[in-house]
Amino acid sequence: MNKKIAFFTPYYKSNRGNATTTKRIVHGLKEAGIDVHVFPYLEERWTDKKEEILKECEIYHILHLYRFAKWNMCRELPLDKPYILTNGGTDINHDLANPAQLEEMKKMIEGAAFISVFTQDGKEKVLAAYPNSSVEIIPQSVWFENEQKLSLEVPAGKPIILLPAGLRAVKDPLYVWDEIQGLKMHFPDLQFIIAGVVIEEEVSKEVLRLCQNHDWVHFLEDVPFSQMKSLYEQADLTINTSISEGQPSSIMEAMYCGCPVLVRNNEGNISVVDHNRTGLVFTNKSEFVEMAYSLLTDVVKTNQLTQCAKQYILDHHSLEKEIEHYIALYNQLV
């Protein structure tokens, strides 16, 4: 196809999940020969030049339903071309559950040709709110942009427990802090690294306080995505403690890099981590301790899990399959 696609995203320059998703999809589309123009609607001022480019586009692809709906209440861009809405975690798990926000999104959702989600759980939540929607499941893929070695110094000491997460309440980064302290008794040289960006100040204050009080706790702020592969490869265990997830890119990336994963039991995490096959899933804090200790001491079990995890990612989360699915939707619209 040679149609022009307008891709609306809340973030493109910031080191956030929406930006990573956008860069991956846009890269894949361009590699496939698609003419795509990116509009980072929360990062850049809307201009007449953007308006002219938009007029030439024949399909709109919009990432993050609620953020775009809120932004467009002030802008009032006419959605006068066929459009696809792609949802992630927060808009599926929280925004759709809020009646006021649901009402703000109603007109946009009802006008969408397709709504794409990452998981079956996401599809069920959209259909529960809007039963007449046409919903497609398109799993995320793993892609690293211009891989580079980590420029930041990784703290000396082993093992390294890595938590890649933006500092906000839904990520619950200190959920198992007491348990990690307990593991320190078994592993005196243990290092705990949180890598992400500051999103909510209250959460960041708690994290920075721990870093000041414990020389083995580290916050690596705004690690360039191109260097994250290097960080996963140096970690001994990657964890996810989120209250909810859409589909955790960081865990998929760790799996691809051969780092064992231990995740909190939520629908997004279990959509990619099959307990005891591609990683481990904990439902409470005591399970976290037991499972973390097992992954850090049982080399045979850990190797089996990481090998299965990488093969799972290669088989089910390739960029080629993800892009083929989006292009198939575009073709239906033109």
Q: Kindly state the average pLDDT of the residues 225-254.
A: 94
Q: Mean pLDDT in the chain?
A: 93
- Contact indicator for 318, 256 with CB cutoff of 8 Å: no
Are 73 and 41 in contact, with CB atoms under 8 Å apart? no
Q: How far apart are CA 152 and CA 211, in angstroms?
A: 16
- Position 1 scores a pLDDT of 62
- Check residue 102 and give its pLDDT: 84
Say which residue, 229 or 145, is predicted with more confidence: 229
Confidence check: pLDDT of 269 > 80: yes
In angstroms, what CA-CA distances link 324 with 42, 85, 243?
Answer: 28, 17, 31
Report the pLDDT value the prediction gives residue 138, as an integer from 0 to 100. Answer: 96
- The C-alpha atoms of residue 267 and residue 283 are separated, in whole angstroms, by 12
**DSSP string over 173-241:** TTTTHHHHHHHHHH-TT-EEEEEE-B--HHHHHHHHHHHHH-TTEEEEET--HHHHHHHHHH-SEEEE-
Is the pLDDT confidence value at 6 over 90?
yes
3-12, 138-147, 163-172: the lowest-pLDDT one: 138-147
Q: Average pLDDT, stretch 180-185?
A: 97
| pTM of model > 0.95 | no
Structure confidence at residue 329 (pLDDT): 96
| 3-class SS of residue 82 | coil
Distance (Å, whole) CA 264 – CA 277: 15
One fold for 4-141+318-333 and 160-316 = yes
> By percentage, how much of the chain surpasses pLDDT 90?
79
pLDDT above 90: residue 236: yes
CB 160 within 8 A of CB 236: yes
Residue 309 has a pLDDT of 98
CATH ID of 160-316, from 3.60.130.10, 3.40.50.2000, 3.40.980.10, 3.30.1600.10? 3.40.50.2000
The fold of 4-141+318-333 is Rossmann fold (3.40.50)
Closest CA to 180 of 161, 195, 166: 161
Kindly report the three-state secondary structure assignment for every residue of 261-319. EEEECCHHHHCCCCECCCEEEECCHHHHHHHHHHHHHCHHHHHHHHHHHHHHHHHHCCH
The pLDDT tens digits of the residues spanning 22-57 come to 999 999 999 999 999 999 999 999 999 999 999 999
Sorted by where each begins, the domain ranges of the chain are: 4-141+318-333, 160-316
pLDDT tens digits along 287-296: 999 999 999 9
- The tokens of 199 are what? 């999103």
Extract the tokens encoding 295. Answer: 């992954």
**Cβ contacts of 217 within 8 Å, gap of 6 or more:** 191, 192, 194, 210, 211
What angle separates helix 299-316 from helix 249-256, to the nearest 10 degrees?
Answer: 110
First to last CA, the chain: 9
E strand or H helix at 333: helix 319-333
- pLDDT over 70 (residue 208): yes
> Over the stretch 87-118, which tens digit does the pLDDT of each residue have?
877 777 778 878 888 888 889 999 999 999 99
> Strand locations in 2-100, DSSP E?
4-9, 35-40, 59-63, 83-86
Helix ranges restricted to H, 89-169: 90-93, 99-111, 120-129
pLDDT band at 254 (very low <50, low <70, confident <90, very high): very high
The DSSP bridge partners found for residue 220 are 195
